[in-house]
Structure 1
Amino acid sequence: MAQGFDIKEHTLGNGLRVVLSEDHLTPVAAVCLWYDVGSRHEVAGRTGLAHLFEHLMFQGSAQVKGNGHFELVQAAGGSLNGTTSFERTNYFETMPAHQVELALWLEADRMGSLLAALDQESLDNQRAVVKNERRQRYDNVPYGTAFEKLTAMAYPDGHPYHHTPIGSMADLDAATLEDARDFFRTYYAPNNAVLAVVGDIDPEQTLAWIEKYFGSIPAHDGKRPPRDGSAVVRDGVAPLREHLVEEVPSRAVMQAYLLPLDGTREADAADLALTVLGSGESSRLYNRLVRRDRLSVTAGFGLLRLAGAPSLGWLDSKTSGEATVEAVEAAIDEELARFAAEGPTPAELERAQAQIEREWLDRLDTVGGRADELCRYAVLFGDPKLLNEALPKVLEVTAEEVQAVAQKYLTPDNRAVLTYEPAAQGADAAATEDVNA
């Protein structure tokens, strides 16, 4: 790692950016394709379309019918999946090295010819799948919509990041076949994508296959709507606090803080601050809330890095016994204020940097993780070679920089707060309480 990974870049005539990284340690290779489209690109009334389309991409293309993409990859000994976030949609296969060509052909076939197979039946089928996913992961589980609610509070109405990738039931129902086709034509084009191939490959042969299968796919010649969310302007009306009385196991306090944009030194400092404060059982919040005061059974503070909008710091604490949300909030405020006043100790900073280093090296230890990160740096920051600089930058951050980030961002006027009360205990209070108070 000290010398960095070998990274080669190419751009096809149709605008597809290609990143290759040769590694013969094991006889496997990863193919990863990032499209520069996520929930931030959706318009009002059509939320969830990016995630719905991720599902549609596995429903067949001109040469690959039905579930054939899964069947062919798995029959060849590979694994595959796709995910959707605020900022991108990715698709990836990890294959035995001699099966890389198959993965490239499959990805090219659906990039170039998905519309040949996209019909009302497949749309309705996958719409039902996504709606069921929403029920199982969000609507019908305790605290399931917490992140969705906090995101909507943190990024005001009209902001590209106001809604999460899962979308709303009403918008999923409203999506038409023509909506889906327009979405594909706009965003699923070679000049809106980055393809990374990492592992036991011959770069020359791999590039020849890429040119063969992707080179004839036409570029999208229209403009894509700009969806910059780097500025957050509040109107002073939308509530930044909500109290819910629901069927949940215990009271809970959740907070969301707007933090620096990913790709900046301040974002690295924020990552270190949140690691010291709320990552693992040695963190300050865990020691205070769980071990010392016994107000909570869990206490965590994590960072969702975002490049096109302020990153999101997510604090989550479930209470213990009869502890009140007021007591938990007061303890959190004290710990954040103390951290802002003192900064991290040398031991805390060293431990946080070691933790981030371990997680980063674990990520890059797999060809799939490395391919995904190369795509991320290419799509979001324009340069896949920044991967080799990421860890040294984190290790250079000083205690003073971490403290400065805490003082600037971890403040009561820069957060949204969501609290929960179990329905059995809170029924009487709910009759008179304003949830937006």
Structure 2
Amino acid sequence: MLKNLHRAALAAVLALTAATTPALADTTQRVNQLAEAQADRLVSTFKHLHANPELGFQETETAKQVSKRLKKLGYQVHTGIGGTGVAAVLKNGDGPVVMFRSDMDGLPVKEDTGLDYASRKQVTLDDGSKTHVAHACGHDAHVSWLLGIAEVMRETRDAWAGTLVLIAQPAEELIQGAQAMVDDGLYDRVPKPELLISAHVFPVWPAGTVAVRAGRRMAGSDQLDVTLHGVGGHGSSPQNTVDPVVMGARSVMAYQTIVSRNVDPQKPAVLTVGASQIGEANNVIPDNGTLKLNLRWYEKPVREQMLDAIKRETNGIARAAGVADDKMPEYTLKGYSEPVYNDEALAEQAQQTLAAGLGKEALMPGFPPVMGSEDFPMLVAGIEDARTLFMEVGGGAPDVMKKYMATGELPPMNHNPKFEIINPRLAITTAVKANSLLLLEALSAE
């Protein structure tokens, strides 16, 4: 079925008439030339960032590199927003305010690509443990094309009017960075946008291609910690304890029925227990422990249904175990993001702009809605009538789609230790061109 959807969508895109808009006709060649002229520098930046990744809210060196370049380009730059976030403003007369966002953080993953610029970095966490760090989701490319877009937009100011805001955001992987920037006074520093554009690289599409698809794109997400309180004791005397290990095990199993038995099967939802941190020794029953949950959803009533069911199941298990009222489970929401949705009219206009500027052969159908998440919508969640647009950027081999259609095999995807952008030069320059064209359309001086 998925293959049929891909084929049908691809046929529709290939049939699209690449209507050239007047605003783009005179600038497309300049955009292409400006993007290509930066290619060597952007690839160098990409490789440096790839070899030196930083975890969420720790992107100090990445942020310094971004802010230094944007200041040199003449942007008004604000740093340290939400910890390490960067916001840059380029005012160019009267017109709309449009924002473009890239994320900066890496992942606690040990890279296994064999690249000569592969990350070998390890860091010490707050608890004293060590972890490898890698850009296994392409945020190094995102930062690189942000800098490329910044230069293109500065050099094409005669073709647009308004205010451009560029965001280098921390901690996307934690689903916390966008909201952290807003909470830390982002809009005390920069104007509120009417449109927010973001893009993400995926190896499912060939490098040199892009996709903008209407409707649901990525799910809303919650990061939820459930803390269980018990009564600890000796492993040989469980009758004198209230065991959080057993409560945790029972809770994990109970959660499996929430989506399968409580949520309407026609409404997508995922509930994952990513970690159980309860106890340390073989012969000690601990006092407490924590379950780390991740929720995915597209409709807020489904989200509330899952949250309510988690509390109902966990509290019931705690009461059955004999937990006192003053030691009932605690629930901590650490990260939240709303779903990513592309307005149909906005997506259609973007497809026309990209087909005209890049050629219709560069336009892919876009993947079906997925349960993965992105937190960039939180940058404008509190702004009335603000719209968002999400673009997929190809980072795979030229034959990736042909191979998938023939065998059903996909390359190592995002968050995999073997994740790799096959042709970073082509992927990054294509993203610079595509996003610049969308920004120029949104800020058209005509």
Indicate the structure whose relative CO is greater, using CA pairs within 8 Å and at least 6 residues apart: 2
User: TM-score scaled to structure 2, two decimals?
Assistant: 0.26
User: TM-score scaled to structure 1, two decimals?
Assistant: 0.26
Give 1 or 2: higher strand fraction: 2
Give 1 or 2: higher helix fraction: 1
